Structure 1
């Protein structure tokens, strides 16, 4: 098939996708809830949806971004499940951290079956970030300092014991032969708050994510990445950052980023969001939008995402049990 014909086929596919979305009723006053303070991964996720849905031409009204911090997603989850169950225009950002918290029962009586999972729009990876003038230039140097005197190093984490940021630190400690219970942690509501505390000298390192950490660095924050919890080095401007694995810590922590809606949202409205995200992620400019936010593709929608979520929660429950965070 020649290049011209390929372009025609791609354009036709995009037109069909947009037409199928347009055939359904667009929700009024669409809103994306980021369940944390501005500046973290949830904020990045909502703003990716805001930009991509508009660029793909599936939203006439701009997607509003609102913030509902509390419990790394717990407040938002409980609000959607208990009070705002059928709002057709409201999507809520989630991440791997949300699924880990669900696995530990941190969202109260609600579990992963209590919402409708719409789409995953990309994946991030865990990262270790320190001040730009830190004495440490590698993950191994930081872990050596902790091993020498665990009380001398204060780590920041988005969330309390059992959160994904805490889990990244605990896994790294285990790989280094350090008792994770001896490490000092300060809990924050999200990665943005931790980065702010890092710049203020209140903590010495944050177990953050690549997306929000690099966004802060791109914005001029005096920070540097020591390691990324990815299977191999990332591309582009992140290609110079070594993985934890190549520094002797065989740990991977991918962070799915996506959206869910309330349990009583109608099939028609749910289908509208599914098709909207399919169209947005098929847009020729979507890859560039991911790259600008330091994310990688992970396109899943509807039933495929629902199955992924259920499997992930089960896997996280097993991991949490290993660290005695849930009862066997």
Structure 2
């Protein structure tokens, strides 16, 4: 009897191990829907490092860049060409949801993919070069009021993108029509910062995480972070727009989705990994190093969050006269 029980335990254990090994994707990949250096890149590399350091992924995850339409090309590729790939995660942000709300991802809406995890939140920021004559946010507001086209504003994404939306909200705070701004669109968050350093634009609106490297190097100044309160840690010295008298806020959630035909088993495997990762102290430190604040949502809860956000962005798009 003992031998039979022992054999059954051994078989059960072996089956469990085999199932676990079978469930892990052979070639895990994170699609960053922009060029290197922006928020999507940060998101993918955060998962890449976090899952590896926590021992939650045996095979190394590679990061693949698929720029185009601030997420539209990657979204369409996943839905139409790679819908059932269990190892493919794609980074998304609040900007992705804003574009979905405006129909910028073509015929696919927010229900076309399986929303997997939100792993942190960034905040918008308004950045200038260190030698800019604009010393604070009020200087920018006054400059826009005097001549809305005098300051060339660079950002990742065309009219209607989340970086444009930040610029539009700044313009609204100044009592200026956003259509009067000189706005230059780039693909992703890395290019605007390069243009700023080269003197091709005078102001950049982006996520604060996209500015921290140049901020630490002393090459730029952040006039305002678009959060309700000052951010913690090394960014605590940066004032918010609100404390400077202007009610402009822009939180930026970041996370991942998978294809619409990924099996429940594979989806649940990833969900369990992210649930474990998001609860760990090690990941909290990694997230803080990337200047992201906690936002841990997975599975059905995330799906509800996404659907609600898209509806709110539809209302905001209507408010700014953006065509859907």
Establish whether TM, by shorter chain, passes 0.5.
yes
Aligned to 1:228: 225
Aligned residue for 2:159? 161
CA–CA distance in structure 1, aligned partners of residues 205 and 133 of structure 2: 17
Q: How many residues align?
A: 307
1:70-107 per-residue CA deviation (whole Å, 9 max, x = no partner) reads 00000000000111111010000000000000000000
**Does the Cα contact within 8 Å between 1:22 and 1:58 map onto a contact in 2?**
no
- How far is the alpha carbon of 1:23 from its aligned partner? 7.2
Partners of 1:119 and 1:247 lie apart in 2 by 34
Aligned to 1:250: 247
Unaligned runs of 5+ in 2: 1-16
Q: Contact 1:317–1:326 at 8 Å: present in 2 too?
A: no
**Which of 272, 276, 279 is residue 279 of structure 1 equivalent to?**
276
**Maintained 8 Å contact 1:118/1:259:** yes
* Deviation at residue 56 of structure 1 after TM alignment: 1.4
CA RMSD of aligned residues (A): 1.3
Secondary structure of 2:213's partner? helix
d(CA) in 1 for partners of 2:138, 2:213: 24
Q: Which of 262, 267, 277 is matched with 1:265 structurally?
A: 262
- Residue of structure 2 aligned with 1:41, choices 23, 29, 39: 39
Give, in whole Å, the separation in 2 of the partners of 1:162 and 1:290.
Answer: 28
Distance 1:101 1:179 in 2: 21
Q: Which residue does the alignment assign to 1:7?
A: none
SS at structure 2 position matched to 1:259: strand
Which of the residues 27, 30, 35 maps onto 1:29?
27
Structure 1 unpaired stretches of 5+: 1-18
The match for 1:8 is: none
CA positional deviation for 1:281: 1.1
Query: Which TM-score applies when normalising by structure 1?
Result: 0.91
- Residue 289 of structure 1: aligned partner: 286
8 Å CA contact 2:92–2:257 kept in 1: the answer is yes
Which has the greater radius of gyration? 2
- Pairwise mapping of residues 306-317 of structure 1 onto structure 2 (< 5 A)? 306-317=303-314
Change (3 A) 1:268 1:311: same
TM-score (norm 2): 0.92
Aligned-partner SS, 2:63: strand
